[in-house]
Amino acid sequence: MAILENIRKRTTVLILIIGLALFAFVISGVFSSNNFAGGGKVGSAVAEVNGESISIDDFRRQVETASRQFGPNFSSTQLVNTVYDREVRKTILNQQFEDLGIDVESDQIIEFVKTSGYAQIPDFLDENGIFNEEVFKSAIADWKVNDPLRYEAWLQDEQAIIEAAKERLYFNLIKGGVGATLTEGEFDYKLANEKVDIQYVRVPYTSIADSTIEVSKSEIQAYISNHQKEFEQERARDVRFIYFEEKPSAEDENAVKEAITSLLGDTVEYNEDNDTTDTIPGFRSTTDMAAFLDRNSDTKYDTIYKRKNELPAIAADTLMAMNVGEVYGPYKDGNFFKVSKVMDRKANGTVKASHILFTWEGAERANPSITRTKEEAEAKAKEILAEAKKEGAIFTSLAREHSDGPSAPRGGDLGYFEEGVMADEFNDFCFGNPVGTIGLVETQFGFHIIKVDDKQDVLRVATLSREIEPSEETINTLFTNATKFEMSALDAEPENFGDIARESSYTVRPVNKIKEMDENLPGLGSQRSIVQWAFNEETSVGDIRRFNVNNGYAVVQLTKKYKKGLMTPEDASATALPEIRKELKAERIMAANQGKAMDAIASNNNVSLSSATSVTLKAPTLAGAGREPLVVGTAFALNQDQTSGLIKGESGVYMVKVTKKEDAPAMENFSTYANSLRTSAANRVNTGVYNALKDKAEIEDNRAVFY
């Protein structure tokens, strides 16, 4: 059983890593007569976009190429989804290019390459390091003859650069039609600068308890019908599961602790060949610590001296207080039991220092912008040294203001370092002076005003460690428990899943609205097989299945299916009910306060009159009430000292009175505002246009069939 479990644990981590095809830019075939049309649509389609198929064969090749680029950084499902999004985008845009007759010629491709990363490839640069069209063409021709592999790599990517050039042309054409008139600029200016002061009364919707508002199923259905876009849903599933985690038991922990404790002292072994007994040194007494840890520890001997914050947090204080040769442990640190021995100590072995650097023209690593002479640098350093030594001087501020070093933004802080790391003069000053000392030294980098901030001892520590892992017995028991629960749940009615779990003190974990191409389940991580099972047409609501998951098992039950389309009243109620109640509360409040003055409304509803000043249409927010665009818009439509009727706002029913109106200051020209609107609109073109095309497109997504 244990062998089977070990095999299972290994196989569960062997997930196929596939990924996103390299969207690079290539050029060679542009200068030939080759026709680089898309790959043939062979076999089944992973998707159809406006009737055009995306071949699963081509798609898989893209995924295979991508896996070599991204490797384990992306899961297989993440990469498939990314490739899918890219291919759908490419298909939609290519349909636009074809309809509009958009194409690119070789000279346009050259212009594109000049402004891309390819313009920096050394093979394409002239003797002055500048991209050269003739050098570019010559290099590709040379690859074709002398470097076929490199040439083939360019051919594989050629279509991508053509598509990228088409995209740039397409979006630039649209941007060319984006504009804003001076009148629009004036309007935008007034939105931000015309202001009103108002007095208002608000009867909040929360003044009426939800329990007093009855909403019928038919009312919810009517609301859904009137707001269909808000209640469209994709296919989805609800599941619940019990997680049987493969983790060490208390007995497993004690066994590891006992095993590591047994290694502390010397042991006596009988040598049958010599009929003698040998004493085997333990952790406390061994004279060859490296060899001892190689034989007995899950971690090797680390001879590097460490500061307190580099030691295990749970043991750092104790270790720093110990003498050389003393042993601490066993102690638990994460998933390990450890015993540590202090092998050596260096008093003040690490220093924390700050500095202010004054360099000169020609000094090592000096910024090219530095033009001062060495003499000028020294004079400036001595001047600031005097400032730094004054009582109350703030060294960090002086460093930020004057230092030429990269540590200036950190106030000159260099952190902790050990002997031999810094330049000799710098090193000697820091380790040869007490904490708080400020002085001046010269190195090849410049003149340094140094402040010794702190010193700490460092320790060399040997640590014997053993990982706490579940035993074979624990693994077998876990499998038995998971199987027993699965069988009990299968024998019972589907609705009793939770009751059976509670009888055994298992926690039921629900996961709602899983989408068809989801991968991660909260509490379980990447579990694509569970998602696929939940969406299998043969899986019915109430079905139960046990899955091997990372570090254990999950017994999963499918609890609900959601069809694509409009939500049912039951599914939509969580979103629809608050909005319906708000509408009904508004009607009730308005009916009760119709025809009343502001003072009377405030008194009858036990609320206060409030005021808001300098309110603009650009930012229609009322202090203490939140964003209320309709209320603010109504106020701007009133004259000064005029009072509105009842207004159905976002958070309550309002009545407002305008106490002051302030026109925007006069301006002669609104071109700045018009240009800002134009730039903002142009920046939204690429994303906005594609999203609009995608929303309008008829897309049949078949990813779940293949993945």
* Crossing angle of helices 395-402 and 374-388, rounded to 10°: 160
Q: How far apart are CA 60 and CA 336, in angstroms?
A: 43
List CB contacts of 90: < 8 A, sequence separation 6 or more. 163
Pair 148, 203 in one domain: no
355 within some domain = yes
Cα-based distances in Å from 133 to 25, 28, 114, 119, 242: 16, 12, 9, 10, 64
594 within some domain = yes
Residue-level pLDDT at 20: 26
Q: How far apart are CA 686 and CA 704, in angstroms?
A: 29
Q: How confident is the model at residue 540 (pLDDT cuts 50, 70, 90)?
A: very high
Calculated CA dihedral for residues 522, 526, 528, 534, nearest 10 degrees: -20
pLDDT tens digits along 198-230: 999 999 999 999 999 999 999 999 999 999 999
List CB contacts of 363: < 8 A, sequence separation 6 or more. 370, 374, 377, 444, 445, 446
Query: Residue 411 corresponds to which tokens in the numbers above?
Result: 């106030």
Tell me what percent of the residues of the chain surpass a pLDDT of 70. 94
Q: How far apart are CA 11 and CA 474, in angstroms?
A: 20
Q: How confident is the model at residue 37 (pLDDT cuts 50, 70, 90)?
A: very low
* CATH classification at residue 365: 3.10.50.40
214 three-state secondary structure: coil
255 three-state secondary structure: helix
Pair 451, 484 in one domain: no
Is the bond leading into 330 cis (omega within 30 degrees of zero)?
yes
Q: Is the pLDDT of residue 42 over 70?
A: no
Residue pair 548/475 in contact by the 8 Å Cβ criterion: no
**Selected residue with higher pLDDT from 155 and 208:** 208
Q: How confident is the model at residue 267 (pLDDT cuts 50, 70, 90)?
A: confident
Q: Which domain holds residue 135?
A: 102-177
Pair 362, 482 in one domain: no
Residue 566 CA from chain centroid, whole number: 32
Q: Is the pLDDT of residue 16 over 70?
A: no
535 within some domain = yes
Question: What is the mean pLDDT of the segment spanning 132-151?
Answer: 87
349 within some domain = yes
Q: Is the pLDDT of residue 40 over 60?
A: no
Q: Is the pLDDT of residue 34 over 50?
A: no
18 within some domain = no
Q: Among 533, 563, 593, give the residue marking a domain's end.
A: 563
Q: Is the pLDDT of residue 38 over 90?
A: no
Residue-level pLDDT at 30: 38
CB neighbours of residue 220 within 10 Å: 21
Residue-level pLDDT at 684: 93
CB neighbours of residue 554 within 10 Å: 23
Average pLDDT, the chain: 89
129 within some domain = yes
pLDDT tens digits along 105-140: 877 778 888 888 878 888 888 888 888 888 888 888
**Selected residue with higher pLDDT from 153 and 505:** 505
Query: Residue 445 corresponds to which tokens in the numbers above?
Result: 């980098």
Q: Is the pLDDT of residue 33 over 50?
A: no
pLDDT tens digits along 586-637: 999 999 999 999 999 999 999 999 999 999 999 999 988 899 999 999 999 9
Calculated CA dihedral for residues 299, 303, 304, 309, nearest 10 degrees: 50
Q: Among 510, 533, 563, give the residue marking a domain's end.
A: 563
- For 634, phi and psi rounded to 5 degrees? -65, -40
Residue pair 487/504 in contact by the 8 Å Cβ criterion: no
Pair 448, 582 in one domain: no
Q: How confident is the model at residue 531 (pLDDT cuts 50, 70, 90)?
A: very high
49 within some domain = no
Residue-level pLDDT at 99: 93
Pair 382, 284 in one domain: yes
Residue-level pLDDT at 486: 95
pTM, rounded to two decimals = 0.69
Residue-level pLDDT at 131: 86
Lowest model confidence (mean pLDDT) among 137-151, 155-169, 307-321: 155-169
Pair 279, 368 in one domain: yes
Residue type, 240: R
Which residue, chain included where needed, has tokens 């054409």? 173
Pair 254, 240 in one domain: no
Pair 552, 629 in one domain: no
Lowest model confidence (mean pLDDT) among 29-33, 334-338, 477-481, 681-685: 29-33
Pair 438, 293 in one domain: yes
Q: Which phi-psi region, left, alpha or beta, contains residue 606 (left: φ > 0; alpha: ψ -120 to 50)?
A: left
Cα-based distances in Å from 69 to 72, 280, 475, 483, 526: 9, 52, 37, 41, 21
Q: Is the pLDDT of residue 301 over 90?
A: yes
- The H or E element containing residue 677 is helix 671-683
Lowest model confidence (mean pLDDT) among 35-39, 109-113, 154-158, 610-614: 35-39
Q: Is the pLDDT of residue 275 over 90?
A: no
Pair 402, 551 in one domain: no
Question: What is the mean pLDDT of the segment spanning 661-676?
Answer: 93
Pair 358, 430 in one domain: yes
Residue-level pLDDT at 595: 93
Residue-level pLDDT at 155: 74
pLDDT tens digits along 471-494: 999 999 999 999 999 999 999 999
Number of domains present in the structure of the chain: 4
Cα-based distances in Å from 551 to 8, 475, 476, 479: 10, 10, 13, 11
Question: What is the mean pLDDT of the segment spanning 62-70?
Answer: 85
Q: Among 502, 529, 563, give the residue marking a domain's end.
A: 563
Pair 313, 323 in one domain: yes
Closest among 554, 576, 580 to 567, alpha carbons compared: 576
In DSSP terms, 337 is beta-bridged to: 332, 466
60 within some domain = no
List CB contacts of 404: < 8 A, sequence separation 6 or more. 357, 358, 359, 366, 367, 370, 446
Residue-level pLDDT at 688: 93
**Selected residue with higher pLDDT from 109 and 169:** 169
Query: Residue 684 corresponds to which tokens in the numbers above?
Result: 């939204």
With 0-12 / 13-18 / 19 or more C-beta atoms within 10 angstroms meaning exposed / middle / buried, residue 35 is exposed
* Crossing angle of helices 569-593 and 217-226, rounded to 10°: 90
Question: What is the mean pLDDT of the segment spanning 397-405?
Answer: 94
